[in-house]
Amino acid sequence: MTDAVRRYWDSQAGNFDVEADHGLADPAVRQAWEDLLLPLMPVPGCDVADLGCGTGSLSLLLGEAGHQVWGVDLSEQMVARARTKLADAGVSADFVVGDASAPPRAHGSVDVVLARHVLWALPDPDAALARWTRLLRASGTMILVEGLWGTGAGIPADRCLELVRSHHKNATLAMLTDPALWGREITDERYVVVSTA
C-alpha cells in the first residue's frame, strides 16, 4: 500500500466512527452486528484477526464477547483510536500498524479472519485471500463483509464468492439488506461471505 493511501485513512480517522456501521454507537446497529457476527464464531474464545480493523469497533464487539482479537490497519491514526477505544472499555486486544493484505502474523495462528470493507480496496485481492487463508487454523472461518456501493466502488458479490472459493472451497454468501446493520435504508449491494475449512 502506498503512503498516499495511508495518509488518506489517517485523515479519515477523526470522523470515521460518525457512520452508524463504523462506530456502532447506536444500540440497534451494534445489536445487528452482534447478531450477524457472534453466531459465526466457530468456538468460544476464538483467536480473531481483524484485518483492516479501522477504529476497532468490531474488535471491541468481539472482545467483549470473550474472543481474543488481534487487529491490523495501515493507518497509525486508526490503530491509535482502536487502542484507546478498547482500553477505555476495559477490553484487551493487540493492534499493530501494517498492511492488511499481508498481515504480519504466523500461518495457522487464528480461528477467524475477519475483514470488513477491505478486500475491494486491495490492489491484488486474490493474493490477499491466499495469504489470509494461510492464517487460519485447520478448522478456521473466514468472514468477509463487502459490497458494491452506489459510488461504483466495491466488488460484486458473485465475484467475491468466486475469489474466496478458489482458496477456501466451502463458502456461502448472504446479502446484508437489513437497515439495522447500516443505520439506514440502503439501495446498493452489501453482503457477507463466510468460508469454512
* DSSP assignment string, 38-102: GGG-SSTT-EEEEET-TTSHHHHHHHHTT-EEEEEES-HHHHHHHHHHHHHTT---EEEES-TTS
Which residue range is the domain that position 103 belongs to? 3-196
User: What are the backbone angles phi and psi of residue 100, rounded to the nearest 5°?
Assistant: -65, -25
At residue 8, does pLDDT exceed 90? no
CA–CA dist 46, 161 (Å, integer): 24
Instruction: State the average pLDDT over residues 106-132.
Output: 96
Model pLDDT for residues 11-28, shown as the tens digit of each residue: 989 899 999 999 999 999
CA–CA dist 59, 168 (Å, integer): 24
At residue 1, does pLDDT exceed 60? no
| 46 contact partners, CB below 8 Å, separation of at least 6 | 62, 67, 68, 110, 111, 112
Q: Given its phi and psi angles, is residue 39 left (phi above 0), alpha (psi -120 to 50 degrees) or beta?
A: alpha
Higher pLDDT, 8 or 41: 41
CA–CA dist 146, 164 (Å, integer): 12
pTM of the model: 0.95
Residue with cell 439495522: 180
pLDDT in the model for residue 193 = 98
Model pLDDT for residues 33-49, shown as the tens digit of each residue: 999 999 999 999 999 99
pLDDT in the model for residue 4 = 87
pLDDT in the model for residue 85 = 97
Number of domains in the chain: 1
pLDDT in the model for residue 197 = 75
**Host H or E run for residue 161:** helix 157-165
Domain of residue 38, CATH code: 3.40.50.150
At residue 148, does pLDDT exceed 70? yes
CA–CA dist 11, 164 (Å, integer): 31
Write out the three cell numbers for 35: 447478531
